[in-house]
Chains A and B, each alone.
Chain A
Protein backbone atom coordinates (compact mmCIF):
# COMPACT_ATOMS: atom_id res chain seq x y z
CA UNK A 1 0.00 0.00 0.00
CA UNK A 2 2.12 2.88 -1.31
CA UNK A 3 -0.21 5.83 -0.51
CA UNK A 4 1.38 9.12 -1.61
CA UNK A 5 4.82 8.86 -3.20
CA UNK A 6 7.11 11.83 -3.80
CA UNK A 7 10.32 11.93 -5.81
CA UNK A 8 13.06 12.94 -5.39
CA UNK A 9 13.63 12.92 -1.63
CA UNK A 10 16.48 15.44 -1.83
CA UNK A 11 17.66 17.88 -4.47
CA UNK A 12 20.12 20.75 -4.73
CA UNK A 13 19.43 23.30 -7.47
CA UNK A 14 21.38 26.28 -8.67
CA UNK A 15 19.65 29.65 -8.92
CA UNK A 16 17.75 29.90 -12.18
CA UNK A 17 17.53 26.18 -12.81
CA UNK A 18 14.20 24.42 -13.20
CA UNK A 19 12.88 21.14 -11.91
CA UNK A 20 9.72 19.13 -11.38
CA UNK A 21 8.77 17.55 -8.08
CA UNK A 22 6.80 14.40 -8.73
CA UNK A 23 3.81 13.22 -6.70
CA UNK A 24 1.64 10.18 -7.30
CA UNK A 25 -1.08 8.56 -5.23
CA UNK A 26 -2.69 5.15 -5.58
CA UNK A 27 -5.81 5.72 -3.47
CA UNK A 28 -7.97 7.10 -6.31
CA UNK A 29 -8.31 10.38 -4.41
CA UNK A 30 -9.93 13.31 -6.17
CA UNK A 31 -8.12 16.01 -4.21
CA UNK A 32 -4.40 16.66 -4.19
CA UNK A 33 -2.30 19.39 -2.61
CA UNK A 34 1.19 20.80 -2.50
CA UNK A 35 2.49 22.38 0.70
CA UNK A 36 5.84 23.86 1.63
CA UNK A 37 7.23 23.68 5.14
CA UNK A 38 9.66 26.25 6.46
CA UNK A 39 11.15 26.23 9.97
CA UNK A 40 8.86 27.89 12.50
CA UNK A 41 6.25 28.62 9.83
CA UNK A 42 4.17 25.47 9.67
CA UNK A 43 2.94 24.33 6.27
CA UNK A 44 1.65 26.68 3.60
CA UNK A 45 -0.57 25.60 0.71
CA UNK A 46 0.99 26.24 -2.70
CA UNK A 47 -1.53 24.74 -5.14
CA UNK A 48 -4.33 22.23 -5.01
CA UNK A 49 -6.46 20.22 -7.41
CA UNK A 50 -10.02 18.96 -7.08
CA UNK A 51 -9.72 16.52 -9.97
CA UNK A 52 -7.99 15.81 -13.26
CA UNK A 53 -7.72 18.97 -15.34
CA UNK A 54 -8.63 21.33 -12.47
CA UNK A 55 -6.09 23.21 -10.39
CA UNK A 56 -6.17 26.33 -8.24
CA UNK A 57 -3.81 28.56 -6.31
CA UNK A 58 -3.26 28.28 -2.61
CA UNK A 59 -1.69 30.75 -0.23
CA UNK A 60 1.84 30.90 -1.73
CA UNK A 61 1.71 30.05 -5.48
CA UNK A 62 4.26 32.52 -6.86
CA UNK A 63 7.18 30.84 -8.60
CA UNK A 64 5.41 27.51 -9.04
CA UNK A 65 3.20 25.79 -11.59
CA UNK A 66 1.17 22.58 -11.47
CA UNK A 67 -0.76 20.33 -13.78
CA UNK A 68 -3.16 17.45 -13.21
CA UNK A 69 -3.57 15.34 -16.31
CA UNK A 70 -4.48 12.16 -14.41
CA UNK A 71 -6.14 11.35 -11.10
CA UNK A 72 -2.92 9.77 -9.82
CA UNK A 73 -0.30 12.41 -10.61
CA UNK A 74 0.16 16.02 -9.48
CA UNK A 75 3.62 17.36 -10.39
CA UNK A 76 4.92 20.70 -9.09
CA UNK A 77 7.17 22.72 -11.41
CA UNK A 78 9.75 25.32 -10.42
CA UNK A 79 10.73 27.29 -13.53
CA UNK A 80 13.43 29.66 -12.21
CA UNK A 81 14.65 28.45 -8.86
CA UNK A 82 15.35 31.11 -6.23
CA UNK A 83 16.93 30.79 -2.75
CA UNK A 84 13.52 31.66 -1.24
CA UNK A 85 12.26 28.33 -2.59
CA UNK A 86 14.61 26.40 -0.33
CA UNK A 87 12.13 24.37 1.71
CA UNK A 88 10.63 20.96 2.35
CA UNK A 89 7.77 20.21 -0.01
CA UNK A 90 4.92 17.89 0.86
CA UNK A 91 2.31 16.45 -1.45
CA UNK A 92 -0.98 15.25 0.03
CA UNK A 93 -4.23 13.75 -1.17
CA UNK A 94 -7.74 13.27 0.17
CA UNK A 95 -10.84 11.46 -0.99
CA UNK A 96 -14.44 12.60 -1.15
CA UNK A 97 -15.89 12.75 2.38
CA UNK A 98 -12.78 11.25 3.95
CA UNK A 99 -11.85 14.44 5.89
CA UNK A 100 -8.30 13.12 6.15
CA UNK A 101 -5.35 14.21 4.06
CA UNK A 102 -2.59 11.66 3.47
CA UNK A 103 0.92 13.05 3.14
CA UNK A 104 3.98 11.93 1.24
CA UNK A 105 7.43 11.73 2.84
CA UNK A 106 8.51 15.09 1.49
CA UNK A 107 11.14 16.51 -0.86
CA UNK A 108 13.92 18.57 0.69
CA UNK A 109 15.00 21.19 -1.83
CA UNK A 110 17.98 23.51 -1.48
CA UNK A 111 18.56 26.35 -3.95
CA UNK A 112 22.11 27.75 -3.95
Chain B
Protein backbone atom coordinates (compact mmCIF):
# COMPACT_ATOMS: atom_id res chain seq x y z
CA UNK B 1 0.00 0.00 0.00
CA UNK B 2 1.11 3.52 -0.70
CA UNK B 3 0.69 6.67 1.32
CA UNK B 4 1.74 10.31 1.16
CA UNK B 5 2.25 12.75 4.01
CA UNK B 6 2.42 16.46 3.36
CA UNK B 7 3.75 18.40 6.32
CA UNK B 8 1.95 21.67 6.81
CA UNK B 9 -1.57 22.20 5.50
CA UNK B 10 -0.87 25.93 5.17
CA UNK B 11 2.40 27.62 4.26
CA UNK B 12 2.93 31.37 3.93
CA UNK B 13 6.00 32.96 2.37
CA UNK B 14 6.90 36.48 1.35
CA UNK B 15 7.11 37.39 -2.30
CA UNK B 16 10.69 36.68 -3.46
CA UNK B 17 11.40 34.22 -0.65
CA UNK B 18 12.18 30.53 -0.94
CA UNK B 19 9.22 28.16 -1.25
CA UNK B 20 9.60 24.75 0.41
CA UNK B 21 6.69 22.31 0.50
CA UNK B 22 7.37 18.99 2.16
CA UNK B 23 6.27 15.55 1.02
CA UNK B 24 7.14 12.13 2.40
CA UNK B 25 5.89 8.90 0.87
CA UNK B 26 5.58 5.24 1.66
CA UNK B 27 5.60 2.62 -1.06
CA UNK B 28 6.38 -1.10 -1.20
CA UNK B 29 7.61 -0.81 -4.79
CA UNK B 30 9.77 1.81 -6.54
CA UNK B 31 7.42 4.76 -6.78
CA UNK B 32 6.52 7.33 -9.34
CA UNK B 33 6.14 10.70 -7.59
CA UNK B 34 4.20 13.76 -8.69
CA UNK B 35 3.42 17.31 -7.65
CA UNK B 36 0.14 18.79 -8.84
CA UNK B 37 -1.07 22.38 -8.43
CA UNK B 38 -4.70 23.44 -8.09
CA UNK B 39 -5.75 27.05 -8.58
CA UNK B 40 -9.12 28.15 -7.13
CA UNK B 41 -12.10 26.48 -8.82
CA UNK B 42 -9.83 24.66 -11.25
CA UNK B 43 -8.76 21.09 -11.88
CA UNK B 44 -5.31 19.77 -11.07
CA UNK B 45 -2.32 20.57 -13.26
CA UNK B 46 0.91 18.59 -13.27
CA UNK B 47 3.90 20.59 -12.01
CA UNK B 48 6.54 17.90 -12.24
CA UNK B 49 7.12 14.19 -11.88
CA UNK B 50 9.81 11.68 -10.99
CA UNK B 51 9.77 8.28 -12.65
CA UNK B 52 13.33 7.04 -13.07
CA UNK B 53 16.76 8.53 -13.71
CA UNK B 54 17.88 11.93 -12.44
CA UNK B 55 16.64 12.53 -8.92
CA UNK B 56 16.43 16.33 -9.28
CA UNK B 57 13.40 17.07 -11.39
CA UNK B 58 12.53 20.44 -12.88
CA UNK B 59 8.97 21.41 -13.60
CA UNK B 60 6.92 24.31 -14.84
CA UNK B 61 6.88 27.82 -13.34
CA UNK B 62 10.39 27.47 -11.87
CA UNK B 63 9.56 24.65 -9.45
CA UNK B 64 11.78 21.67 -8.82
CA UNK B 65 11.80 18.65 -6.54
CA UNK B 66 14.39 16.13 -5.44
CA UNK B 67 13.70 12.44 -4.94
CA UNK B 68 15.59 11.19 -1.88
CA UNK B 69 15.10 7.47 -1.50
CA UNK B 70 16.96 7.25 1.82
CA UNK B 71 14.64 9.86 3.33
CA UNK B 72 11.52 8.74 1.38
CA UNK B 73 11.00 12.38 0.51
CA UNK B 74 10.06 14.43 -2.54
CA UNK B 75 10.06 18.05 -1.36
CA UNK B 76 9.02 20.83 -3.74
CA UNK B 77 11.05 24.04 -3.93
CA UNK B 78 11.15 27.33 -5.78
CA UNK B 79 13.94 29.85 -5.18
CA UNK B 80 11.80 32.99 -5.38
CA UNK B 81 8.05 33.05 -4.75
CA UNK B 82 5.73 34.99 -7.03
CA UNK B 83 2.21 36.17 -6.25
CA UNK B 84 0.91 33.86 -8.99
CA UNK B 85 2.21 30.83 -7.04
CA UNK B 86 -0.62 31.13 -4.53
CA UNK B 87 -2.55 27.87 -4.88
CA UNK B 88 -2.99 24.43 -3.34
CA UNK B 89 -0.28 21.88 -3.98
CA UNK B 90 -0.69 18.13 -3.88
CA UNK B 91 1.99 15.49 -3.70
CA UNK B 92 1.02 12.10 -5.13
CA UNK B 93 2.50 8.64 -5.58
CA UNK B 94 1.72 5.80 -7.97
CA UNK B 95 3.01 2.27 -8.12
CA UNK B 96 5.45 2.99 -10.88
CA UNK B 97 4.67 1.01 -13.98
CA UNK B 98 5.45 1.49 -17.61
CA UNK B 99 1.87 1.00 -18.60
CA UNK B 100 0.41 4.42 -17.90
CA UNK B 101 -2.11 3.22 -15.34
CA UNK B 102 -1.62 6.04 -12.89
CA UNK B 103 -3.80 5.26 -9.95
CA UNK B 104 -2.64 8.06 -7.75
CA UNK B 105 -2.56 8.25 -3.97
CA UNK B 106 -2.66 11.89 -2.93
CA UNK B 107 -1.50 13.75 0.11
CA UNK B 108 -3.91 16.06 1.89
CA UNK B 109 -2.54 19.16 0.19
CA UNK B 110 -0.68 22.32 1.19
CA UNK B 111 -2.23 25.72 0.64
CA UNK B 112 0.48 28.22 -0.28
CA UNK B 113 -0.11 31.88 0.48
CA UNK B 114 2.24 34.58 -0.84
CA UNK B 115 2.64 37.70 1.28
CA UNK B 116 3.25 40.88 -0.75
Contacts and interface: CB of A to CB of B under 8 A. Distances in A.
B100 A98 contact: yes
Contacts of A30: 100
Contact of A42 (B42, B45, B99, B107): B107
Contacts of A44: 106
Contacts, number: 68
A48 to B, nearest CB: 6
Task: Give chain B's interface residue range (CB within 8 Å of chain A).
Answer: 20 to 34
Contacts of B105: 45
Contact of A99 (B9, B45, B49, B103): B49
Interface string A3-34: 01000000000000000000000000011010
A105 B42 contact: yes
B70 interface: no
A42 B44 CA distance: 11
A40 B45 CA distance: 19
A45 B4 CA distance: 14
Contact of A40 (B4, B9, B41, B49): B9
How would you classify the secondary structure of chain B's contact residues: helix, strand, loop or mixed? loop
A45 B101 CA distance: 13
A37 to B, nearest CB: 9
Given A40-B108, A90-B44, A103-B43, A96 B100 contact: yes
Given A43-B104, A50-B101, 16 more contacts: A30-B100, A33-B103, A33-B104, A35-B104, A40-B109, A42-B107, A42-B109, A45-B104, A58-B103, A92-B44, A94-B102, A96-B99, A99-B102, A100-B46, A101-B102, A106-B42
16 contacts: A30-B100, A33-B103, A35-B104, A41-B108, A42-B90, A43-B44, A43-B106, A44-B106, A45-B104, A45-B105, A90-B43, A92-B44, A99-B51, A99-B94, A103-B43, A106-B42
Interface of B: 4, 9, 32, 36, 41-46, 49, 51, 90, 94, 98-109
